[in-house]
Structure 1
Amino acid sequence: MDVRLDITYKTPKGLETTFSSADMRVEEAIAIAGDLERTGRLKNITFVDHREQTWTLKQLKKLVAEIETEPHHITVYFDGGFDLQTKVSGLGCAIYYEQNGKSFRLRKNAKMEALDSNNEAEYAALHLAVQELEELGAHHLPVTFTGDSQVVINQLSGEWPTMEKALNSWADRIEDKLKKLGIDPAYEVVSRKKNHEADHLASQALNGVAVRSKVELDGKSK
Structure 2
Amino acid sequence: MNIKIELTYKTVKGTEARFISDEMRAEKAMLIAEDLEKTGRAKVLSFIDHLDNRWTMKELKKFMQGIETDPHNVTVFFDGGFDLKSRKSGLGCAIYYEQSGKKYRQRINAAVEELETNNEAEYAAFHLGLQEIEQLGVHHLPVIFVGDSLVVINQLNGEWPVYEVELSKWIDRIETQLKRLGITPEYEIISRKKNKETDHLATQAMNGIEIRSTVEIDAGK
Which residue of structure 2 lines up, in the alignment, with residue 8 of structure 1?
A: 8
Distance, in Å, in 2 between the alignment partners of 1:82 and 1:183 is 28
Equivalent residue letter for 1:205: A
- 1:189 and 2:189 aligned: yes
The equivalences for 1:174-185 within 5 A come to: 174-185=174-185
Which residue of structure 1 lines up, in the alignment, with residue 18 of structure 2?
A: 18
Which residue of structure 2 lines up, in the alignment, with residue 120 of structure 1?
A: 120
Which residue of structure 1 lines up, in the alignment, with residue 164 of structure 2?
A: 164
Which residue of structure 1 lines up, in the alignment, with residue 213 of structure 2?
A: 213
5+ unaligned residues in a row in structure 2: which ranges? none
- 1:138 and 2:161 aligned: no
Deviation at 1:161, TM superposition (A): 1.2
Moved beyond 6 Å, runs of 4+ = none
What are the superposed Cα offsets for residues 30-51 of structure 1, whole Å, 9 maximum, x if unpaired?
1111000111111111211111
What are the superposed Cα offsets for residues 56-97 of structure 1, whole Å, 9 maximum, x if unpaired?
111100110010000000010000000001110000000000
Q: Secondary structure at the match of 1:191?
A: coil
Q: Secondary structure at the match of 1:204?
A: helix
Which residue of structure 1 lines up, in the alignment, with residue 86 of structure 2?
A: 86
Q: Secondary structure at the match of 1:52?
A: coil
Equivalent residue letter for 2:173: R
What TM-score, normalized by structure 1, do the two folds share?
0.98
Distance, in Å, in 1 between the alignment partners of 2:84 and 2:56 is 53
**Amino-acid identity (%):** 61
Number of residue pairs matched?
A: 221
What TM-score, normalized by structure 2, do the two folds share?
0.98
Distance, in Å, in 2 between the alignment partners of 1:102 and 1:18 is 35
Distance, in Å, in 1 between the alignment partners of 2:163 and 2:73 is 33
Distance, in Å, in 1 between the alignment partners of 2:124 and 2:69 is 29
Q: Secondary structure at the match of 2:89?
A: strand
Q: Secondary structure at the match of 1:74?
A: strand
Distance, in Å, in 2 between the alignment partners of 1:3 and 1:163 is 36
Which residue of structure 2 lines up, in the alignment, with residue 198 of structure 1?
A: 198
RMSD: 0.8
What are the superposed Cα offsets for residues 144-192 of structure 1, whole Å, 9 maximum, x if unpaired?
0000000000000010111110001011111111111111000111000
- 1:71 and 2:60 aligned: no
Equivalent residue letter for 1:218: D
